[in-house]
Chains A and B, each alone.
Chain A
Amino acid sequence: MSTDAQAIHHESFIVNLGPQHPATHGVLRIKLTMDGEYILDAEPIIGYGHRMHEKMGENRAYAKFLPNTGRMDYVAALFNGHGYVCAVERLAGLTVPERAEYIRVITCELNRVASHLLWLGAFLVDLGGFTPLLYCFDDREKILDLLESVTGARLTFCYFRFGGVCNDIDDTFVNGTRDFVKLLRSRMPLYHDFVSTNIIFRKRCEGIGLLSADTCRRYGATGPVLRGSGVAYDVRKQEPYSIYPKLDFKIPVYPECDCMARYRVRVDEIVESLRIIEQALDQLPAGPVMAPKVPKILKPAKGDCYFNVESARGSFGIRIVSDGSENAYRLKLRSPCFSNMSLFQEASRGMLLADALALLGSLDLVIPDMDR
């Protein structure tokens, strides 16, 4: 708080941000205790979108939970499905054909690009710039067309199966994806011209919303939020899964800890994802996309396991405890947004409300993922 604001002490007052507010991107409510324009305390009140997915995971067979995975983080739905099928495969000891692993990575990375593009557009709307959103949606639409042609859905994907994927990709998809990679690469300078050098954007982001690496660690914030604080933690590198060890890609890290750093991480990640997609398409092997003889009703052996994937928002984890029956005994969903949001109360203390909204936007929240 500035010394001026402390000197002229006014009565504090309470403002409800949300549950219906454009800056919260969903039904999130933040109870703000304000001193003028400055935040004394910001208490997030969550759970408006809570559907108890964990209970649903316990009272139905493993395969029947697959559609649920697309309905948590619906902006990057494939990652949840990826985490879930990998956890069950680990528990049941299933191996996945190599072609299916490649297809999973290609579609997941397309989904990551789509998610980051949507975030970019929405974040700039939060900061008052409307035009880039239209360009982002234009590019994202092309990804959704590609994914629709192979998964059958545009948003709530349910594409992965235990032991593979449900539908093989064809030449139309491969060529379309190659064309898209070239197109988006040619568009990146345009985004940089639009956004990165814009003086209003820079003033709203540089030095705003500082999150130290230690704060992120103690709150469990992962993904671009952590990498924007100078920590090179990415599940794809630290605990490689699927075919990621065979691919050459970098983890963008910026040490500035501000909104600008998180913006740069995500924009660089789009470029790296394009590289991953291109390499995976080059290496794509022929063969089946489903493991043979996967039982219709899975009954994994007793035990438990944990599996993490790097979703567009951070580390998405699933813990499954099996008692040997056809339903999971316990299914825990570790959503990245939940942990990323939990640091907001501490981080926003003493900030200007307008700056706190920039911080909120830079966390890239998807409320149904947080509330599950």
Chain B
Amino acid sequence: MPDNDWKTRLVACAARDAAQQPLVTETPHATKGSVLEVTVPAADVVAAARILDNAVFLIEAVTGVDWLAEQQMELVYDFVQMQTGERVTLRARVPREKPELPTISAVYPGANWHERETHDFFGIVFSGHPNLTPLLLPEDARFHPLRKDFAP
């Protein structure tokens, strides 16, 4: 049975801001393209992915954003519910000097390639990933082209 209570569970999973409020934004689909944006602690992405998996969400993409000024890397996971078309964006931030967080490929096998791609482009390490080798870049690539301080 699909889990219909996923919203509550996901909010419970979210990271807290300075005022202890969960970092959740209900966004208008017409302007942002998603209905719910949830920031979770990097260690909790697997739990959040499991909630969405139980609620029969399809995995759209995993990607990163390099926030050089803030010395952080942001992970962006996109999911869509196939029946209702609801979109959920999961976000997590990791420090730039040690960009590491757990893989969700055990929950969503499709994340395997997306995470390898994100590792190629940003150098983010997905701990527990079965095969974190270059996917799109050459096999001997030792650079991460989408880092903002990358110079060819």
Contact = CB atoms under 8 A, between A and B. Distances in A.
A219 B65 contact: no
B99 interface: no
Contact of A306 (B33, B83, B137): B33
A219 B60 contact: no
Contacts of A317: 60-61, 78
A226 B30 CA distance: 25
A308 B119 CA distance: 24
A47 B110 contact: no
B93 interface: no
Interface residues of B, number: 39
A306 B34 contact: yes
B110 A339 contact: yes
B39 interface: no
A272 B22 CA distance: 45
A306 B29 CA distance: 9
A119 to B, nearest CB: 22
A343 B105 CA distance: 13
Interface stretch (A48-56, A101-109, A138-146, A151-159): A48-56
Instruction: Sort chain A's interface into a size bin.
Output: 35 or more
Nearest to B141: A47
Interface in A64-88: 87
Interface string A264-279: 0000000000000000
A329 B135 contact: no
Contacts of A315: 60, 80
Nearest to B87: A306
Interface stretch (B6-14, B40-48, B51-59): B51-59
A218 B85 contact: no
Interface stretch (A129-137, A179-187, A289-297, A330-338): A330-338
A197 interface: no
6 contacts: A46-B135, A54-B146, A226-B82, A238-B82, A307-B33, A330-B146
Interface of A: 46-47, 50, 52, 54-55, 58, 87, 90, 216-222, 226, 231, 233, 235, 238-239, 303-308, 315, 317, 319, 321, 329-330, 332, 334, 338-339, 342-343, 346, 371-372
Interface of B: 29-34, 53, 56-61, 63, 65-66, 76, 78, 80, 82-85, 87, 89, 108-110, 112-113, 117, 121, 134-138, 145-146
